């Protein structure tokens, strides 16, 4: 049996980042939270105010015998606009910036190669600006934000309709 690994991705509103990973084979857990900032245990309101330095993100526990980190990175690209570093879709600001957080040399190499390959495909008319950074402490979001797509399907659908869903369909 393989050991469970983790991956952390920021791709705009964490509500919209959970479902694609949650429904992917080999995923054990997806947790919404905050990372990349300077405040310990920030609240949603603090992060939204953009003074903590954190971005909304998801931490994923996965079985590498079932799903590779490369597959997770590929799925990540398909959920984001990698040419927009000022937020994602209708969600604007540094708390929605896209970042691939890496926790090993293997993840660094995979993420960098994947980003270079995406840029080389010239699929987008602007440069790929998603950052790749070393993982930082991850703080789980409040319970009301966990599994939001299941708890609040109408609000979740409205978030998806804010540009993400159309972008994904037109680019992937």
Compute the distance between CA of residue 68 and CA of residue 91 in angstroms, rounded to an integer.
Answer: 29
Tell me whether strands 99-102 and 131-134 are parallel, antiparallel or unpaired: parallel
Compute the distance between CA of residue 6 and CA of residue 8 in angstroms, rounded to an integer.
Answer: 7
Catalytic residues: 13
């Amino acid at each position: 049996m393989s050991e469970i690994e983790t991956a952390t991705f920021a791709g705009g509103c964490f509500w919209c980042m959970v479902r694609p990973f949650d429904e992917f084979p080999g995923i054990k857990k997806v947790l919404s939270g905050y990372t990349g900032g300077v405040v310990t245990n920030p609240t949603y309101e603090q992060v939204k105010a953009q003074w903590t330095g954190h971005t909304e993100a998801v931490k994923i526990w996965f079985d590498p015998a079932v799903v590779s980190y490369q597959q997770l990175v590929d799925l990540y690209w398909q959920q984001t606009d990698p040419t927009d570093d000022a937020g994602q879709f209708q969600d604007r600001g540094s708390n929605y910036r896209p970042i691939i957080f890496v926790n090993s040399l293997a993840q660094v190499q995979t993420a960098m190669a994947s980003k270079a390959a995406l840029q080389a495909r010239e699929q987008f008319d602007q440069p790929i600006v998603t950052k790749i950074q070393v993982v930082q402490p991850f703080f789980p979001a409040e319970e009301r934000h966990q599994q939001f797509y299941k708890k609040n399907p109408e609000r979740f659908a409205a978030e998806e309709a804010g540009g993400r869903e159309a972008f994904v369909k037109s680019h992937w």
